[in-house]
Amino acid sequence: MTAVRLLDSPIRYMRSRPSMPWMAALPILLHIGTVSAMGVVVSGRINSVVAAAWEEAGRTAPVIPAPIAVGIGVGATVAAGLVMFWLKAGALALLSLAALKPVQPRRLIELTAVAYWTQLIWAIPALMVTILLFDPDPMRVPSGASVFQMRGLFESYMQDLTQTPLEGVLELTSRMFGLWLVALQCCVLRVVSGFSIGGAFCAGVVLTVVFVIAPTFAPRFF
């Protein structure tokens, strides 16, 4: 219901919403949990394929035991999700300061968290699609391949997985909803810090560059 109201009339909803800090944390936790579950599914299936390829080549796969690998992956995803949330909420406070507007950190944080309800609209279906459709092809390994060759094949295999149609659709959907989150953050600045429409638009450009465009293209250069 909250996600629908945020899609329908975000500014009206934000102005009328009473302060409920603990409830605001719920969408963050649900979003991070969903993304973590997606990572567990993907890494588990890839690890199975890679282990089978090493076994076929008559070698022992140099992989971390599955429970430890899952724990590390989930921990990293949770930490990254929390850091990203605080960066996005902090960015609103910095933009308010830069525009010489009143800063209400608690309200900025709370409404940024509430905006994450809209991210569940893509995250939950993406998890279901991943569970149903993500089925990585076997990793082809030539007979008698050396450890060095195996590692090169693994890197090539992982690169190919990032270029599948399914991965492309999920990535595009994620970025589009990232833009919607930026739009909602602009609404937060309008409601909490009193930004004008033009000021909120300029803030949105900055947020888009930092949180949508940069994460999309930076990996290509590093």
Q: Quick check: is 204 in a domain?
A: yes
- Which domain covers residue 68, as residue numbers? 18-220
Structure-model confidence comparison of residues 67 and 59, the more confident one: 67
Has residue 4 been placed in a domain? no
pLDDT at 44 over 90: no
Confidence check: pLDDT of 7 > 70: no
CA–CA distance, 79 with 69 (Å, rounded to integer): 15
Q: Is 35 among the domain residues?
A: yes
pLDDT band at 209 (very low <50, low <70, confident <90, very high): very high
Judge whether 9 lies within some domain: no
The answer, yes or no, to whether residue 141 has pLDDT greater than 90, is no
Three-state helix/strand/coil letters over the chain: CHHHHHHHCHHHHHHHCCCCHHHHHHHHHHHHHHHHHHHHHHHHHHHHHHHHHHHHCCCCCCCCCHHHHHHHHHHHHHHHHHHHHHHHHHHHHHHHHHCCCCCCHHHHHHHHHHHHHHHHHHHHHHHHHHHHHCCCCCCCCCCCCCHHHHHHHHHHHHHHHCCCHHHHHHHHHHHHHHHHHHHHHHHHHHHHCCCCHHHHHHHHHHHHHHHHHHHHHHHHCC
**Position 63 pLDDT exceeds 70:** no
Number of domains observed in the structure of the chain: 1
154-163 confidence digits (pLDDT tens): 788 888 877 7
pLDDT value, residue 220: 63
Asked if residue 210 is part of any domain, the answer here is yes
Please indicate, yes or no, if residue 171 is contained in any of the structural domains.
Answer: yes
- 69-79: pLDDT as tens digits: 778 888 888 89
Say if 115 falls within a structural domain. Answer: yes
